[in-house]
């Protein structure tokens, strides 16, 4: 079978990451699916067989990330697309009441994890003269909202880091895209509220939110554009969401 290339998707065990992995496979890519949930990765492997390589590690660990990429089988090393999706929000308290462990987890995952994978993968892309990096940011990176403080800060950092990378590789054929989703109904809010499903469900009450598939569609659009077209940034919102803090509920 002929494939379009190889993609790596971080945080591929659910939500946007899983949707991106599935969409890329449907578009003819072989996908390296990463995450911490080994059993979920194994389930995806059983579903997609040779089109998917499961890679279980924690993006927050720089050594694990570097070793995971360096240890890829020879026929999986030419990564054409990197989707830096792994990320999370924790808590919605005022900044002066925030949980420091939550702060560390968000900074280590949303910022440092993205940087570790970029550092491990992009040099190979540059050496081959081919590659596309898609970073999953958020509307939360455009402006802070109540209780979002540190999470919004991490996503603002993702935007700045993405813009910086685009500048750094401007003399090469590489392309860099930032996707900024609004309300997407995944397990995002349940993670944010530490498993409080009723509180999580209230986030999406009265509005039809986006799905992981909607964001995967945007990702594939950017990746599939002609080589001379770079979709630098895309803001994707539900119809009744105007910004990170303006949501009209029916």
Decide if 116 is catalytic: no
- In tens digits, the chain (250 residues) has pLDDT values of 678 999 999 999 999 999 999 999 999 999 999 999 999 999 999 999 999 999 999 999 999 999 999 999 999 999 999 999 999 999 999 999 999 999 999 999 999 999 999 999 999 999 999 999 999 999 999 999 999 999 999 999 999 999 999 999 999 999 999 999 999 998 888 888 888 888 888 899 999 999 999 999 999 999 999 999 999 999 999 999 999 999 999 9
What pLDDT score was predicted for residue 1? 63
What pLDDT score was predicted for residue 196? 84
Please enumerate in sequence order all residues whose Cβ is within 8 A of that of 149, keeping only pairs 6 or more positions apart, or say none: 94, 95, 98
Domain ranges of the chain: 5-236
Please enumerate in sequence order all residues whose Cβ is within 8 A of that of 107, keeping only pairs 6 or more positions apart, or say none: 150, 154
What pLDDT score was predicted for residue 232? 98
Integer Cα distance of 143 and 140 in angstroms = 6
Lookup result for tokens 């964001």: 215
Active-site residue, from 3, 29, 151, 221:
151
Straight-line distance from the first to the last Cα atom of the chain, in angstroms, rounded to the nearest whole number: 48
Q: What is the DSSP string of 95-122?
A: GGG--HHHHHHHIIIIIIIHHHHHHHHH
CATH number of the domain located at residue range(s) 5-236 in this protein:
3.40.50.720
What pLDDT score was predicted for residue 80? 98
Please enumerate in sequence order all residues whose Cβ is within 8 A of that of 75, keeping only pairs 6 or more positions apart, or say none: none
Q: What is this structure's pTM?
A: 0.95
What pLDDT score was predicted for residue 143? 95
Partners of 34 in the β-ladder? 55
What pLDDT score was predicted for residue 140? 97
CB hemisphere CA count around 86 (13 angstroms): 32
């Amino acid at each position: 079978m002929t494939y379009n290339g190889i993609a790596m998707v971080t945080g591929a065990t659910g939500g946007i990451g899983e949707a991106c992995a599935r969409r890329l496979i449907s578009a003819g890519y072989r996908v390296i699916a990463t995450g911490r949930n080994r059993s979920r990765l194994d389930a995806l492997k059983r579903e997609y067989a040779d089109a998917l390589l499961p890679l279980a590690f924690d993006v927050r660990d720089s050594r694990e990330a570097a070793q995971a990429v360096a240890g890829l089988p020879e026929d999986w090393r030419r990564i054409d697309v990197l989707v830096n999706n792994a990320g999370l929000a924790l808590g919605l308290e005022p900044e002066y009441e925030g949980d420091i462990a939550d702060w560390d987890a968000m900074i280590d995952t949303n910022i440092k994890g993205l940087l570790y994978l970029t550092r491990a993968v992009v040099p190979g892309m540059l050496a081959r003269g081919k590659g596309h990096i898609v970073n999953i940011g958020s509307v939360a990176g455009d402006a802070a909202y109540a209780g979002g403080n540190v999470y919004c800060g991490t996503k603002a950092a993702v935007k700045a880091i993405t813009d910086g990378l685009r500048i750094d590789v401007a003399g090469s054929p590489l392309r860099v895209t930032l996707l900024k989703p609004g309300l997407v109904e995944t397990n995002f809010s349940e993670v944010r509220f530490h498993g409080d499903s009723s509180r999580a469900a209230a986030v999406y009450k009265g509005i039809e939110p986006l799905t992981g598939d909607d964001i995967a569609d945007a990702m594939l659009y950017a990746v599939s554009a002609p080589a001379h077209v770079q979709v630098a940034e895309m803001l994707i919102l539900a119809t009744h969401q105007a910004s990170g803090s303006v949501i009209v509920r029916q």
